[in-house]
Amino acid sequence: MVRPSQLLYPQRDPVALRPAATVLLLRDTANGIEVLMTRRSMSASFAPGAYVFPGGGIDAADASAHAQSTRRATQSDLHLTQAIAAIRESFEELGVLLARHADGSHATTSDIATLDRKAPFAAQCRERKLTLAGDEVFVLAHWITDRDLPRRFDVPFLVARMPEGQEPVADEAEQFEPIWVRPADALARHAAHDFFIIFPTIRTLQRLQAYTSVDAVLQACASEQPLWTSCPRAGLLAGKDARYMEHEAPFGELALTCPDGQILHKLDWQTEQAVALLKNVMRLTAPNPGVMTGPGTNSYLVGDAGTGYIAIDPGPLDRDHLARLHAAAGGDIRMIVCTHSHPDHSPGAKPLQALCEAGGKARPPILGLPSQATARADSAFTPDRALQNQELLALVSKGPEGETTHTLKVMHTPGHAANHLCLVLLEDGLLFSGDHILNGSTTIVNPPDGAMTAYLDSLDNLSAACDAHGIDFILPAHGYVLGEAKAAIAQLKNHRLKREAKVLAVMQANPQGTLDDWVPLAYDDVHERIWPIAKRSLLAHVERIQALNMTSS
C-alpha cells in the first residue's frame, strides 16, 4: 500500500453514496433494439439536460412492496427492491407501468390513466389489484458515480421489455421528450453534439449495441449478476476531463495518482517533462514511440531531493532524453538500474552515468544483469555490478521529521529476456515490471533469449510477491500504470495459456506446418501486420509445447 506521505494530493473523503435504480426499457424493431430515453430537466441537480434512462432514488416503500410483486426464484431481496424502485420511477417519470392483472395481462393505458403519478405508488396498484412485474426486470450493470462528483449514487442499471400497448408520456417536470432510439444512433448523435449523454450512459449504450434482440439481452442477464461493475475515474486529456472504466488503460494510473478522485492528473503522453506519479516516483517517457514501444520507453526516478534518486531504465541513446532525466533528478542520481539489455532500455545508462560525473556528482553505478550469449548483438550489456536475486537497493535520508527510506527489492524474472529483472518498491507496494508486464499489449517472448516457460514461472513469482509485499500497482516500461496488480498478472497468465491452447490446437491440426502456416491461425484475432512480430512469441509457445511433449497428449 502506498504511504500516505508519498501521495501527491491531500486525502479527502468522497461524497457519500445514495442508493438509486435506473431501467433500460427495450423493444425489438426491424432495425434492431431500441431503448427508451428521456431528457432531464435543465434545472436538475444531477446531469441537467442529459438524455437518460428513467430512474431515481430508492425509497423505503420500495423495500416494503415485495409482497405486491412477482419475483424470480433466484432474485435476491436487494434486486427485487431495486426492480420495484425502477418500476415506480418509470411510472412516475414516463407513465410506463410494469404490472399485471390477476389474469396475467399487462396493465393498459386505461389502467395507467386512473393512477396519480404523485400519490403513493404501491398503494394505488394494490387498490386496483395490479401486481408489480418485478420478475421481468433484470440486472444489467452496476454503476457507482465517480468519486469527484458532488452528488454520488450507487445504481444498478436494470433492463426490461417495454409492455405492449403502452406509450411513454413524460411528467414534464423532471423528464421531457421521451424518445425511442437505437443505441448506435444515440451514440452517433452524441458524437455530433446533438444528444447529450453522460459517461455511464455512453458506456452502457456501447455494450448494448452488441445485442441483436431484447431476448438476447435478457438471456445475458440471467445469472442475476451485473455484466460489469464500475466506479469510473477521471483525468485530464488535452486539457479536458476524460473518464475511464476499470478495464481501460489509464484507470490504474488515476487510482495511484488521485485515489480520492481529484481531477488533476494529466494523461497526455509527452517527452519534455517528468510526470510525478507519487512524491517519490517520477516517469519520463523517451521519444521513441512505435509498434514495439507504444508511447515510448518509460524511464523512472525513485527517491526524493533528500535521498537522491535511482534511475530505472534510462532508455535509448537519446541525449535530450537523458539530459531531461538528469535534470528531473536535480543531478542527484545514486544508481542506474536496467531491467534488461534491449536497445530501448539500456544504451542510455553509460551516457547518463557520464552526465552525472560531469555535473560534479559521484559516479552512479550501473546495475542489472549482463546479457547472455543468446542475446541479439544490439542487446549487449555489461553492468558495473550484477544484481543478486532478492537484493535490496536502499535510499535513506534523515531529516527533522525522521528517517525516510525508499527500498527497491530485485527480482530476477527471465522470460522476455534472459537477463530481465523487476523491482519492488517495498515501502509503497509498487512493482516496476520492465517489459515483463505492459499496459495495453502483451510483451514479445523471442527465443533464444526469451523463453515461454521461464516467462510464465516469473509471472507466478511476481504474483507471489504481490501477496508478500502488498503490491497494488505495476509501473511498466511501456504504457500507463496498472492497478489491481495481482489480478492483472492473473489475467495476463490466463491470456498466455489461452494462446498456448490455441497454438497447440493449430499444431495438432497441421503437424507438418511451419510457423508461417500456423501464425495466421493461432493469431487470427490480431491484425496481420502484427503477425511478423507475433511469430516470435509463437516460436516460444512452440518450443514450450515441444519441450513438454504436449502434442502427443
Joined together, the cell numbers standing for residue 43 give: 434545472
52-80 residue pLDDT tens: 999 999 999 999 999 999 999 999 999 99
Domain map (residue ranges) of the chain: 17-231, 233-268, 269-484, 496-552
Report pTM. 0.93
274-331 residue pLDDT tens: 999 999 999 999 999 998 899 999 999 999 999 999 999 999 999 999 999 999 999 9
User: 17-231 has which fold?
Assistant: Nucleoside Triphosphate Pyrophosphohydrolase (3.90.79)
User: Of all residues in the chain, what percent carry a pLDDT higher than 90?
Assistant: 90
Joined together, the cell numbers standing for residue 488 give: 492483472
Buried b (16+ CB within 10 A) or exposed e, 316-330: bebeebbebbbebbe
293-307 residue pLDDT tens: 999 999 999 999 999
- In whole angstroms, what is the distance from residue 158 CA to residue 137 CA? 6
330-363 residue pLDDT tens: 999 999 999 999 999 999 999 999 999 998 888 9
| Residues 471/477/479/482 CA torsion (nearest 10 deg) | -10
Confidence of residue 40 (pLDDT cuts 50, 70, 90): confident
| 112 Cβ contact partners less than 8 Å away, ≥ 6 residues apart | 91, 95, 97, 166
15-32 residue pLDDT tens: 999 999 999 999 999 999
Q: Is the pLDDT of residue 441 over 80?
A: yes
Q: Please, are residues 259 and 436 in contact by the beta-carbon 8 Å criterion?
A: no
Q: Is the pLDDT of residue 171 over 90?
A: no
Q: Is the pLDDT of residue 553 over 70?
A: no
User: 269-484 has which fold?
Assistant: Metallo-beta-lactamase; Chain A (3.60.15)
pLDDT at 429: 98
